[in-house]
């Protein structure tokens, strides 16, 4: 006795196919995050000028090495993200999918987000300058930065916003005004917010920024200690130092001979 199986009707097949394909072709409420790039600070992005023509303006020094501002690529509020893109992002090792509501407010748009990001970056530059001044009072009391103000900073960067460049801006200013060779020919990067009193705060996309730092072939990247839970323990190809203050980052940078390593330092949660 033979068994007979009825074939699936074409209409059912078509319905199943559409059920699989249609979600891939419609917009979904997600945001995609990719690693960005490392943008060099010197000599074009970050400059200091004697805007007030002050006779007591401090001496500036040429950097012997390079510092990099790190970025991530995030789909804009007005960008339509389709299901197929989400699937592709899930497959990629260097892409992150998060709900749109986590990244953006409900009624925001590209223009509002761009304006907010630029304002945050301007504030981070001002805070970085104040933090650097306070650092120099402690580390270089003989160098007076009182005549350096916000108009002295000339920052040239496009299509980038947010407060996460505060730490690297402060380290960049320290390199410019310090009579010591802090970089010692190295390429380093940094990410983290900065307060006027030198506190380094958490940022988003730290994993993607570490990938960007590796792509820029830096030897060392400073990250906030507040982001340690997001830092992988088995990082290779770059040294990662977690810090909570500008002074801590400055001392680690200055002591360059002991920073030639790969892996993570400063994250107690990653200790064996």
3-class secondary structure, 46: strand
Contact present, 197 and 134 (Cβ < 8 Å): yes
Domain boundaries, the chain: 37-71+121-267
**pLDDT, one tens digit for every residue, the chain (272 residues):** 455 444 556 665 555 555 556 566 677 788 888 888 999 999 999 999 998 899 999 999 999 999 999 998 888 888 888 878 878 888 887 888 888 888 888 888 889 888 888 899 999 999 999 999 999 999 999 999 999 999 999 998 877 788 999 999 999 999 999 999 999 999 999 999 999 999 999 998 999 999 999 999 999 999 999 999 999 888 988 999 999 999 999 999 998 766 678 899 999 877 55
DSSP, res 104: S
- Burial code of 170-185, b = ≥16 C-beta within 10 A, e = fewer? bbbbbbbbbeeebbee
Distance CA 74, CA 255 (A): 35
DSSP 199: B
Closest Cα to residue 62, out of 39, 43, 86, 84?
A: 43
Residue 251, classed as helix, strand or coil, is: helix
DSSP 148: -
Q: Which CATH number fits domain 37-71+121-267: 1.10.10, 3.30.230, 1.20.120, 2.40.50?
A: 3.30.230
């Amino acid at each position: 006795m033979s068994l007979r199986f009825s074939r699936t009707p074409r209409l059912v097949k078509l319905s199943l196919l559409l059920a699989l394909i249609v979600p891939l072709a419609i917009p979904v409420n997600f945001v995609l995050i990719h690693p960005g790039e490392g943008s060099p600070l010197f000599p074009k992005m970050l400059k200091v000028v004697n805007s007030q023509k002050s006779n007591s303006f401090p001496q500036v020094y040429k950097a012997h090495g390079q510092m990099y501002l790190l970025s991530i690529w995030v789909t804009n509020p007005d960008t339509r993200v389709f299901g197929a893109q989400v699937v592709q992002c899930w497959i990629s090792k260097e892409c992150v999918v998060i709900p749109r509501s986590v990244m953006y407010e409900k009624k925001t748009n590209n223009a509002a987000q761009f304006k907010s990001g630029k304002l945050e970056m301007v504030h981070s530059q001002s805070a970085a300058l104040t933090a650097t001044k306070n650092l120099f009072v402690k580390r270089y009391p003989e160098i007076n930065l009182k005549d350096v103000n916000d108009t002295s900073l000339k920052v040239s960067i496009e299509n980038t916003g947010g407060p996460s460049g505060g730490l690297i801006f402060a380290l960049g200013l320290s390199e410019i005004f310090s009579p010591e060779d802090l970089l010692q020919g190295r390429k380093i990067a940094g990410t983290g917010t900065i307060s006027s009193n030198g506190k380094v705060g958490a940022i988003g996309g730290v994993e993607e920024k570490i990938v960007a730092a590796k792509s820029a072939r830096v030897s060392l990247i400073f990250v906030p200690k507040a982001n340690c839970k997001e830092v992988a323990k088995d990082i290779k190809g770059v040294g990662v130092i977690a810090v909570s203050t500008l002074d801590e980052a400055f001392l680690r940078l200055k002591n360059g001979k002991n920073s030639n390593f790969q892996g993570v330092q400063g994250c107690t949660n990653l200790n064996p």
